[in-house]
Structure 1
Amino acid sequence: MNPVRDNRYAILLRGVNVGGITVKMAELRDVLADLGLRDVRTLLASGNAVVTTDWDPAGLKERTEQALRKAFGYEAWVIVLPVYRIAELAGAVPYAGDDPAVHAYVTFSTDPAVLDELFEMGAAAGAEQVRIGPEALAWTVQKGSTLESPLSKAAAKPRYKSATTTRNLRTLHKIAAAE
C-alpha cells in the first residue's frame, strides 16, 4: 500500500453545529494542526476533517477527542477511518446519493455490536438499510423525514453517542475525494 494513502485519515465529529454545540471549521483546523497533524483539511460545516499522521487510528481518536473537549468544552466523540476506507464504504452503498426524493446515509460505529443493535431496530421498524462493513450501516429515508426515521431516532439515544455518527452519502464522496 502507498504510505501516503495509508496515513490519510478522516475524522468524523459527532454532534457538532447542532444542539447548541458550535465548532467553527477554522478553529477545528487549528486544534488539529496544534496536535501535530499534517495536511489538515475540513470539509463542510458538519465536523469532517481529513489529516495526515503516523499515529494509529486509536491514538488519533483518543488525542482528538481530548483536544476537542479541552478546546470547545463539550463531550467530544469522533470516528476515525482511513480515507481510502471511507471511499470503499461509500462505493458499497447501494443507494443513489443524488436522488431528489431520498437521502442516503451511512451510520458509522466504533463498536460493531452497536451497529447490530441499530440494524435490528431499523429492521423491526421496516427501514431500508444494508450493512456495508463491520463499521458501517447504509440506510435511506424520504427527504424531510430524517429526524423522524427509525435509525435516526435510535442513533440519537444517549447510549450510542460515544460510538456512532452518521453522514450523508454525498458528504462521504467529498471526504473520499479529499484523499
Structure 2
Amino acid sequence: MARWVALLRGVNVNGITIKSADLAALFRERGYGDVRTVLASGNVVFSADGTATALKSDVEQALRERFGYDAWIVLVPHDGLAAIVDGFPFPSAEDRHDYVVFGSDEDALDDLLADLELDESVERVAPGSGVVYWSCPKGSSTDTVFAKRAGAARFKRTTTTRNTNTLRKLL
C-alpha cells in the first residue's frame, strides 16, 4: 500500500464544516488504512492501493455524498512531500508566511504564474515540481496580487494552498 496525503479544498471555511473525527471515519469506511487527520483544515494522511486518479475520484465522491458540498481534493504521494517542503526556495522569516500551492492539473499551476507581475518586496512566487511556492507578509495572505489570483473561482477545482508549518505536520 502506498501512503497518500489528501488536501481538501475549502474545508471549515465558507460554511463547510467537517469535524476531523468524521473525516477520518469516512476514509476508514472507504477501506483506507493508517488514517490520520492533521489540523482542522482538511488534511488526511492515509494508506491505499490504487492509482492516484481512482483514489482522488473515490474520495471526492465520498465527500460529496457524506458532507453535501462540491468537494475537490489534491492528492499528493506522501513520500514526495518532504522534498516539496525542503524545496521551498525563499528564506523564512517571523514576519512572513510560507505557502505551497498544490495543483491537480499542471496547466492550472502554469496559469497561476502566467503574466504575473509582483512586487517582490511584498511577495515572492516560484514554480516547483507540481507546486507553486509563495511567500508573503503575515496578515496579507488574502489581499496580495498572487493571493487574489490564486483565490479566483477558476482555480477552485484544481488547486489548494497549505502553509509549510502544516505540511511539516503531515510528514
User: How far apart, CA to CA, are the structure 2 residues paired with 1:108 and 1:159?
Assistant: 14
In angstroms, what is the RMSD of aligned CA positions?
Answer: 1.3
The DSSP-based 3-state class of the residue aligned with 2:142 is: helix
Helix, strand or coil at the partner of 1:61: helix
Corresponding letter in the other structure for 1:129: V
In the alignment, residue 76 of structure 1 is paired with which amino acid?
A
Cα distance per residue 1:16-53 (max 9 Å; x no partner): 01111101100000111110000100001110000000
In terms of fraction of residues, the more helix-rich structure is 1
Listed as ranges, the gaps of 5+ residues in structure 2 are none
Q: Is 1:25 the counterpart of 2:9 in the alignment?
A: no
Matches within 5 A, 1:79-118: 79-96=74-91, 99-118=93-112
Structure 1 stretches (4+) deviating beyond 2 angstroms? none
Query: 1:105 is aligned with what amino acid?
Result: Y
Q: Tell me which residue corresponds to 2:125.
A: 129
Identity, in percent, stands at 39
Residue identity opposite 1:8 in structure 2: R
Q: Which of 89, 99, 113 is residue 119 of structure 1 equivalent to?
A: 113
Equivalent position SS for 1:84: helix
Give the number of aligned pairs. 168
What does residue 50 of structure 1 align with? Answer: 45
Q: Report if the CA contact (8 A) 2:6-2:76 is conserved.
A: yes
Specify the SS of the correspondent of 2:4. Answer: strand
Alpha-carbon distance in structure 2 between the residues aligned to 1:96 and 1:21: 34
Q: Any idea what the Cα deviations from partners look like across 1:38-69, whole Å, max 9, x if unmatched?
A: 01000011100000001211111000000000
For 2:8 and 2:90, locate their aligned partners in 1 and report how far apart those are by CA, in whole Å. 24
Gaps of 5+ in 1: none
CA deviation after TM superposition for structure 1 residue 132, in Å: 1.3
Instruction: Tell me the TM-score normalized by structure 2.
Output: 0.94
Q: With the length of structure 1 as denominator, give the TM-score of the two structures.
A: 0.90
